[in-house]
């Protein structure tokens, strides 16, 4: 069995948050074995800690948010969790001085690079906890279908997306999670939004930090962003990025083969919760 891992050192990342529009700074720090991934709100009294686990999820609309109380909440954790998943980090503490991490360029590449800048990872003395579902798992609602099948050796996602008005639609990509290829194939994929949804988001007090520097906009048969698309199928790659982040909420290293049709945070988190429950029953 492989050993647990934590970050080799410390690193920081600052920037504007996507939905709140506030400036925030993350401080990534190593943690002892069996700690898990913990967010610590250093801007609040007593610095409350929020574990990055499925049962702490309180919202899955336009991102995945975790909390332990009404005030001790962290919004849109999926991008940083996706990068930690790729690095196979089991334990770390993430101090944050606000309710939402920086959006950076809308991808998880800045978070992946943050771990790299911290020296990468180091192994710890305890064994890592692995889980593959013993039987197929099926999640479905509306247009979304997610199936996960046992595979003890790897975690692979085959994903199809479809968005009205997108010039390249549907999009498909298949990827096996790997620390070395993640920053090339998945991490650069940026978040996106339909132009028709922007006014709704703004009326809800969201997307205050959004811009063409941080997201791609689907509008009238085109994809609009500051730079040209990083991939022809950048949208589906970002959906896979989000899925890896949401599945990190199991607190385990997962293996299996996932087939996902039009996935999103609600069903991703439901799958993470279901896998967590299966692992607890098996233990």
Pairwise CA distance, residues 178 & 9, whole Å: 21
**CATH number assigned to the domain comprising residue 104:** 3.30.230.20
pLDDT of residue 195: 52
So what's the pLDDT on residue 139?
Answer: 97
Q: Is there a catalytic annotation at residue 27?
A: no
Nearest C-alpha neighbor of 48 from the set 58, 59, 40, 60: 40
* Within-domain flag for 162: no
Catalytic residue among 19, 79, 238, 265: 265
For 29, the domain range is 3-128
pLDDT of res. 230 = 84
Residue spans of the chain under pLDDT 50: none
Tens digit of pLDDT for each residue in 203-254? Answer: 555 555 555 566 666 656 667 666 778 889 999 999 999 999 999 999 999 9
Q: Is residue 37 assigned to a domain?
A: yes
Q: How many domains does the chain have?
A: 1
Six-digit token string for 246: 């949401």
Look at residue 178 and tell me if it is in a domain: no
DSSP 66-120: EESSSSSEE---HHHHHHHHHTT--BEEEEESSSS-B-TTSSSHHHHHHHHHTT-
What is the structure's pLDDT at 183?
98
H helices present in the chain, as ranges = 78-86, 109-117, 182-185, 195-203, 234-247, 265-282
In a domain, 28, yes or no: yes
């Amino acid at each position: 069995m492989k050993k647990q891992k934590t970050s080799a050192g410390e690193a920081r990342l600052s920037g504007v948050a996507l939905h709140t529009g506030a400036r925030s700074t993350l401080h990534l720090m190593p943690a002892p074995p069996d700690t898990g991934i913990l967010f610590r709100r250093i801007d609040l009294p007593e610095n409350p800690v929020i574990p990055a686990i499925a049962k702490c999820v309180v919202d899955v609309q336009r991102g995945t948010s975790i909390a332990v109380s009404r005030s001790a909440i962290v919004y849109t954790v999926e991008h940083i969790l996706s990068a930690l998943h790729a690095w196979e980090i089991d334990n770390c503490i993430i101090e944050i001085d606000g309710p939402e991490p920086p959006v950076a360029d809308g991808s998880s590449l800045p978070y992946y690079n943050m771990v790299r800048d911290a020296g990468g990872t180091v192994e710890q003395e305890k064994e890592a906890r692995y889980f593959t579902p013993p039987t197929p798992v099926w999640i479905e609602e509306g247009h979304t279908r997610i199936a996960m099948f046992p595979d003890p050796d790897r975690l692979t996602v085959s994903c199809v997306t479809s968005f009205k008005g997108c010039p390249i639609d549907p999009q498909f990509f298949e990827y096996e999670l790997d620390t070395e290829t993640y920053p090339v194939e998945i991490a650069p994929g940026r978040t996106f939004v339909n132009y028709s949804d922007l006014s709704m988001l703004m009326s809800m007090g969201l997307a205050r930090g959004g811009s063409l520097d941080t997201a791609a906009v689907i509008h009238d048969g085109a994809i609009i962003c500051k730079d040209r698309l990083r991939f022809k199928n950048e949208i589906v790659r970002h959906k896979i990025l989000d899925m890896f982040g949401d599945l990190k909420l199991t607190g385990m290293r997962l293996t299996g083969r996932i087939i996902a049709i039009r996935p999103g945070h609600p069903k991703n988190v439901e799958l993470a919760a279901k896998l967590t429950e299966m692992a607890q029953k098996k233990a």
